[in-house]
């Protein structure tokens, strides 16, 4: 099991031999931060990389740098300037599909299944970008918050309805909710702040319970330990203030739980360049 350190609870670990590494990162514009994505691929070598907020139509997605690094397969759902999700893979993919929710085509959910005959074949991967919800935690006064709650609520019923509930699935992405008390810098001060309000936490818990999803990252860090994946751009010195939130998640269904071999929240990536993403990469390793 990955060791836990107070300052950096989930530092990068060597990839176990033969393991499947699935990474997620809200990159906040893949074209603007293509060099950072390349740095991650060169250092962490995930088998699948799931990006959110790519902010680019599919026809303009910069695929060539990925192909040159061996990521020959992809599933994209992109639009100009906003949202956008992508799965880039060194393993063959099949059944790639874009899923729309709440009657909107806003590029927040793409899925694909690992193909071939290897040990990872048949694992279904869902990459999500849940709406942030705006600033006012009142669905009656804030349409963005209402949409966020509806989006999570719809997924709660939609995911179990997609065939055999016992098959191997991985769900990753920027879920824009920090569910646990130690997923935020101050539980008491964040209770009325969008991303940690009780109604959001309850909606996410219902979604997690719908297929008995296992929180793969918290599997390695006890709930009483602080763990963040996002730090606001507003903080002059994010390291000193350390007012983070854990918004980026990796979940697995029970058939994959005993294959969890390690996890990383790559905290140093928040300082990789003067204008980084406000999120950092998160990944999980699964043994064959």
Residue 203 lies in domain: 20-286
Mean pLDDT of all residues in the chain?
A: 95
Q: At 48, phi and psi to the nearest 5?
A: -130, 135
Q: What's the chain's length in residues? A: 288
d(CA 11, CA 110) in angstroms, rounded, equals 28
Q: Is the pLDDT of residue 178 over 80?
A: yes
Query: Is residue 167 domain-resident?
Result: yes
Is 98 part of a structural domain of the chain?
Answer: yes
Tokens representing residue 167 in the block: 């098959």
To 5 degrees, how large is the angle CA 219–CA 220–CA 223?
Answer: 70
Encoded tokens for 195: 């991303």
**pTM tops 0.75:** yes
Distance CA 47, CA 287 (A): 13
* E strand segments, the chain: 20-26, 48-52, 73-77, 85-89, 93-98, 109-114, 124-129, 169-174, 214-215, 230-231, 244-245, 248-252, 260-265, 282-286
Q: Is residue 9 part of a domain?
A: no
- For residues 119-138, average pLDDT: 98
pLDDT of residue 234: 84
Q: Please report where in the chains the tokens 């990252």 appear, as a residue.
A: 217
Tally the domains of the chain: 1
Residue 7 has pLDDT above 90, yes or no: no
| Sequence-separated (6 or more) residues with CB below 8 Å from residue 202 | none
- Res. 193: pLDDT tops 60: yes
Question: Which of 86, 237, 101, 252 lies closest to 168 in space, CA to CA?
Answer: 252
Is a pLDDT exceeding 60 seen at residue 3?
no
Average pLDDT over residues 13-22: 94
| Whether the predicted pLDDT of 5 surpasses 60 | no
Pair type for strands 124-129 and 169-174: parallel
CA end-to-end span of the chain, whole Å? 16
Matching residue, tokens 């694909």 = 112
Residue 2 has a pLDDT of: 42
Q: pLDDT above 70 covers what percent of the chain?
A: 98
- 135 exposure class (CB count in 10 Å sphere: 0-12, 13-18, 19+): exposed
195-235 pLDDT, tens digit each: 999 999 999 999 999 999 999 999 999 999 999 999 999 88
Q: 166 pLDDT exceeds 60? A: yes
- The Cα 255–Cα 213 span in angstroms is 10
CATH of the domain at 83: 3.60.10.10
Q: Note the pLDDT of residue 267.
A: 96
Of the two residues 273 and 182, the one the predictor is more confident about is 182
> Using 50, 70 and 90 to split pLDDT, how confident is the model at 262?
very high
Q: Does the pLDDT value for residue 6 go beyond 60?
A: no
Q: If DSSP codes are grouped into helix, strand and coil, which group holds residue 228?
A: coil
Of the candidate ranges 6-10, 69-73, 115-119, the one whose mean pLDDT is the lowest: 6-10
Q: What is the mean pLDDT of residues 92-108?
A: 98
Confidence band, pLDDT 50/70/90 cuts, at residue 176: very high
In whole angstroms, what is the distance from residue 16 CA to residue 14 CA? 6
Helices of type H across the chain: 34-44, 64-68, 143-158, 187-190, 198-210, 238-241, 254-257
For 41-76, how does the pLDDT look when each residue is reduced to its tens digit (9 = 90+)? 999 999 999 999 999 999 999 999 999 999 999 999
What average pLDDT does this structure show over 238-252? 96
Tens of pLDDT along 130-164? 999 999 999 999 999 999 999 999 999 999 999 88
């Amino acid at each position: 099991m990955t060791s836990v350190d107070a300052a950096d609870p989930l530092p990068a670990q060597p990839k176990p031999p033969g393991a499947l590494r699935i990474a997620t990162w809200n990159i906040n514009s893949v074209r603007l931060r293509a060099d950072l994505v390349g740095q991650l691929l060169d250092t962490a070598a995930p088998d699948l990389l799931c990006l959110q907020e790519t902010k680019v139509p599919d026809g303009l997605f910069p695929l060539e740098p990925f192909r040159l690094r061996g990521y020959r397969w992809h599933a994209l759902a992109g639009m100009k300037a906003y949202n956008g999700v992508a799965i880039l893979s060194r393993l063959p993919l099949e059944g790639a599909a874009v899923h729309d929710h709440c009657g909107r085509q806003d590029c927040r959910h793409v899925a694909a299944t690992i193909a071939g005959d290897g040990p990872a074949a048949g694992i279904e991967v869902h990459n999500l970008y849940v709406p942030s919800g705006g600033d006012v935690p009142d669905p009656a006064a804030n349409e963005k918050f209402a949409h966020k709650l509806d989006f999570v609520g719809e997924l709660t019923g939609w995911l179990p309805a997609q065939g055999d509930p016992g098959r191997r699935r991985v769900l990753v992405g920027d879920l824009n909710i920090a569910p646990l008390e130690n997923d935020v810098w101050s539980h008491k001060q964040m209770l009325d702040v969008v991303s940690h309000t009780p109604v959001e936490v309850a909606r996410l818990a219902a979604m997690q319970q719908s297929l008995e999803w296992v929180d793969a990252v918290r599997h390695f860090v006890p709930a009483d330990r602080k763990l963040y994946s996002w730090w606001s751009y507003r903080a002059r010195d994010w390291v000193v203030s350390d007012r983070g939130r854990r918004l980026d998640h990796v979940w697995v269904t029970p058939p994959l739980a005993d294959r969890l071999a390690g996890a990383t929240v790559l905290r140093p990536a928040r300082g990789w360049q003067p204008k980084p993403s406000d999120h950092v990469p998160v990944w999980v390793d699964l043994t064959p």
